Structure 1
Amino acid sequence: MRIGILTGGGDSPGLNACIRSIYFRAKEYGWKTIGIHDGWKGLTEKGKSKELTEEEVESIFDKGGTILGSSRTNPYNFPEGPKQVIKKFKENKLDALIAIGGEDTLGVAGKLFEDYKIPVVGVPKTIDHDVVGTEYTIGFDTAVNSATEVIDRLHTTAKSHKTVFIIEIMGRHAGWLTLRSGIAGGAHIILIPEKPYDLKKVFETIKKREKEGKYTLIAVSEGVDPPKQLNEKKDGFDHVLLTNRGLAYAFKELIDEECRIDSRVMVMGHMLRGGTPTAFDRVMASRVGSSAVDFIKEKKFGFMTAVQGGEIKPFPLKEVIEKYKTVSDQEYKLLQSLFEGDVM
Structure 2
Amino acid sequence: MGATKRIGILTSGGDCAGLNPVIRAVVHHANGNYGWDVLGICQATNGLMSRPPQAIHLDLNEVDRLLTLGGTMLGTTNKGDPFAFPMGDGTVLDRSNEIIEGYHSLGLDALIGIGGDGSLAILRRLAQQGGMNLVGIPKTIDNDVGLTERSIGFDTAVNIATEALDRLHFTAASHNRVLILEVMGRDAGHIALNAGIAGGADIILIPEIPYKLENVCAQIKKRQDRGKHFCLVMVSEAVCTEGGEQVTQMQQFGECRFGGIGQYIASQIAEYTGAETRVTVLGHLQRGGIPSPGDRLLASAFGVAAVDLIAQEKFDQMVTWQKRQVVSVPIAEAIQNYRNVDPQGTMVKTARGLGICLGD
What TM-score bracket applies, with the shorter chain setting the length?
A: over 0.9
Cα deviation per residue 1:253-278 (whole Å; 9 max; x = unaligned)? 22222222331001111111112112
Task: Please name the residue that 1:292 is paired with.
Answer: 306
Structure 1 contact 110–321 (Cα < 8 Å) conserved: no
**Worse overlay, 331-340 or 115-124:** 331-340
**1:174–1:324 contact (8 Å) kept in structure 2:** no
Partner of 2:139: 125
Task: Please tell me whether the aligned partners of residues 102 and 125 of structure 1 are also in contact (alpha carbons under 8 angstroms).
Answer: yes
Q: Which residue of 2 aligns with 1:321?
A: 335
**Partner Cα distance (1:20, 1:76) in 2:** 30
- Mapping of residues 234-245 of structure 1, within 5 Å: 240-242=256-258, 245=259
Cα distance in 1 for residues equivalent to 2:353 and 2:215: 18
Residue equivalent to 2:17? 13
Gap regions ≥5 residues in structure 1: none
Q: Match of 1:9, as an amino acid?
A: G
Checking the alignment, whether the CA contact within 8 Å between 1:114 and 1:318 is kept in structure 2 is no
Q: Aligned to 1:187, what secondary structure does the other structure show? A: coil
User: Structure 2: which 5+ residue stretches go unaligned?
Assistant: 86-92
- With structure 2 as the length reference, what TM-score do the two structures score? 0.88
Asked if residue 77 in structure 1 is aligned to residue 84 in structure 2, the reply is: yes
- Residue type of the partner of 1:338? G
| Aligned AA (1:218) | V
Q: In the superposition, relative to structure 1, how do residues 341 and 127 fare at CA in structure 2: closer, same or farther (>3 Å)? A: closer
Please state how far the C-alpha of 1:86 moved relative to its aligned partner.
0.3
Q: Name the structure 2 match of 1:340.
A: 355
Q: Which residue of 1 aligns with 2:28?
A: 24
Q: Distance in 2 between matches of 1:59 and 1:45?
A: 27
Given the superposition, is the C-alpha separation of residues 335 and 288 from structure 1 closer, same or farther in structure 2, using an over 3 Å criterion?
same
User: 1: distance between equivalents of 2:247 and 2:190?
Assistant: 24
Instruction: Name which of 111, 121, 130 aligns with 1:107.
Output: 121
Deviations 1:127-159 (A, max 9, x none): 111110111211211221111111111111101
Q: Count matched residues.
A: 341
Moved more, 250-259 or 305-314: 250-259
Letter in 2 for 1:280: G
Q: Which TM-score applies when normalising by structure 1?
A: 0.92
Shift of 1:82: 1.6
* Cα deviations by residue, 1:238-259 (Å, 9 ceiling, x for unpaired): 98412xx322112222222222
Question: Per-residue deviation at 1:231?
Answer: 4.9
Find the residue that maps to 1:320 and give its secondary structure: helix
Indicate if the aligned counterparts of 1:121 and 1:295 stay in contact, CA closer than 8 A: yes
- Residue aligning to 2:160: 146
**1:159 matched residue in structure 2:** 173
Distance 1:82 1:313 in 2: 30
Would you say 1:40 and 2:45 are equivalent positions?
A: yes
Maintained 8 Å contact 1:143/1:177: yes
Distance in 2, Cα, partners of 1:76 & 1:52: 29
Q: Deviation per CA, 1:298-335: give whole Å up to 9, x if none.
A: 11111101111122111111123364211221224421
How far apart, CA to CA, are the structure 2 residues paired with 1:112 and 1:284?
27
Equivalent residues of 2:320, 2:327 under 8 A apart: yes
Percent identical pairs in the alignment equals 41
Bigger Cα displacement from structure 2, 117-126 vs 43-52? 43-52
Question: What's the RMSD between the two structures over aligned residues?
Answer: 2.2
